[in-house]
Amino acid sequence: MSVQEQFQQLQSHLDSQIVGQGHLTQRLLMALLANGHLLVEGAPGLAKTKAVKTLAEHIEGDFHRIQFTPDLLPADITGSDIYRPQDGSFQFQKGPLFHNLLLADEVNRAPAKVQSALLEAMAEHQVSVGSTTYALPDLFMVMATQNPIEQEGTYPLPEAQMDRFLLHVLVSYPSAESERQILQLSRQEASGQSAAPGVKVPQSAIFEARRQALAVHMAEPVEEYLVQLILASRDPSPYSEELAQWLDYGGSPRATIALDRCARVQAWLAGRDFVTPDDIRAVINDVLRHRLILSFEAEASGVTPDQVVDDLTRRVPSA
């Protein structure tokens, strides 16, 4: 079985267990293959936690979940030096960050120092404790969740930390048909009927899939289209004066890299060896949603980042 077939089987299995959230399961695989991190926002009970736990069960690697709370300390996630009275020495005890897949549940409930420690791990793949720096595993991905309903007692993530997330995915309620399937699946689990085991993807296959996905061909006109979209997010005035009034800041160069990687992974997951403008349009909302800073006028008018991105993709000519 080829690496591509393994991931297609993995996605099919995830879709059978996380019913009605195909967009979320695909974005989980996309973040894994693009070597990035995922910020998921949605109401409680929409299988955000179950999605990443199910993914962890079907890849070679360990999983840990952290419930972020206002009293959390940096050492609670990084680990700390433990005193050994038998020989008077200190030994470093690794924290939850030293797992392959990390679920940061309600990440915006943690204070700034904890978010800073998480930011270093996400950006540098390392943890600093005292004067010592410890490397994280080669396979390391953070999926953080936010609850958009309850904002009391939360610490909004700063723009610099938001920019570290490869994708920002919005999870909505499932359809009526999906709701019925969820009920059936829940009854099966309650009666002890376990699902088919599914494929178990080794880490070597994940690294090979990353290599293949990032080697997908992108023609020069498609690459130019990608760059023009990012440039338009910074200065949309050549396309629309109204858009220019809505935007204070556009996508950073990190957004360009993220859009490039995600478009290639999108094409690879679809079984193609080349990127099309449709691949870019398919992922651009999740790539730019959290990177655009809207003006006061836009927020006062109820304009959302998704509306801005949609307008950009309509106005910027494709390759």
* CATH number of residue 102's parent domain: 3.40.50.300
Query: pLDDT exceeding 70 applies to what percent of the chain?
Result: 96
The answer to whether residues 45 and 166 belong to one domain is: yes
Tell me the per-residue pLDDT of 278-301, one tens digit each, with 9 for 90 and over: 999 999 999 999 999 999 998 898
Instruction: Count up the domains in the chain and report the number.
Output: 2
pLDDT, greater one: 217 or 240 = 217
pLDDT for 266 equals 96
Residue where a domain stops, chosen among 173, 195, 229: 173
**140, 204 in Cβ contact below 8 A?**
no
| In a domain? residue 298 | yes
The answer on pLDDT for 124 being more than 70 is yes
Tell me the per-residue pLDDT of 243-278, one tens digit each, with 9 for 90 and over: 889 999 999 999 999 999 999 999 999 999 999 999
pLDDT for 306 equals 93
The answer to whether residues 160 and 276 belong to one domain is: no
- Whole-angstrom distance, CA of residue 119 vs CA of residue 114: 9
| In a domain? residue 120 | yes
The answer on pLDDT for 198 being more than 70 is no
The answer on pLDDT for 218 being more than 90 is yes
The answer to whether residues 49 and 143 belong to one domain is: yes
The answer on pLDDT for 53 being more than 80 is yes
Confidence of residue 86 (pLDDT cuts 50, 70, 90): confident
The answer on pLDDT for 151 being more than 70 is no
E-strand ranges in the chain read 38-42, 63-67, 79-84, 89-94, 101-105, 126-129, 132-135, 141-146, 167-171, 247-249, 293-294
Q: Ranked by mean pLDDT, which of 84-88, 93-97, 280-284 comes out on top?
A: 280-284
Confidence of residue 87 (pLDDT cuts 50, 70, 90): confident
The answer to whether residues 120 and 57 belong to one domain is: yes
The answer to whether residues 148 and 254 belong to one domain is: no
Confidence of residue 150 (pLDDT cuts 50, 70, 90): low
**107, 115 in Cβ contact below 8 A?**
yes
The answer to whether residues 158 and 221 belong to one domain is: no
Average pLDDT, the chain: 89
Tell me the per-residue pLDDT of 157-185, one tens digit each, with 9 for 90 and over: 777 778 889 999 999 888 898 888 888 88
Containing structural domain, residue 147: 36-173
The answer to whether residues 156 and 59 belong to one domain is: yes
Mean pLDDT of the region 87-106 = 89
Q: Which one-letter amino acid corresponds to residue 122?
A: M
77 contacts: CB under 8 Å, gap ≥ 6: 66, 95, 96, 97, 114, 117, 118
- Whole-structure pTM value: 0.90
| In a domain? residue 204 | no
The answer on pLDDT for 217 being more than 70 is yes
| In a domain? residue 309 | yes
Backbone phi, then psi, for 116, in 5-degree steps?
-65, -40
The answer on pLDDT for 147 being more than 70 is yes
The answer to whether residues 67 and 118 belong to one domain is: yes
| In a domain? residue 190 | no
pLDDT for 88 equals 81
pLDDT for 194 equals 65
| In a domain? residue 112 | yes
Distances (CA, A) of 111 to 43, 52, 166: 22, 24, 22
Domain of 269, CATH number, reads 1.10.8.80
**12, 26 in Cβ contact below 8 A?**
no
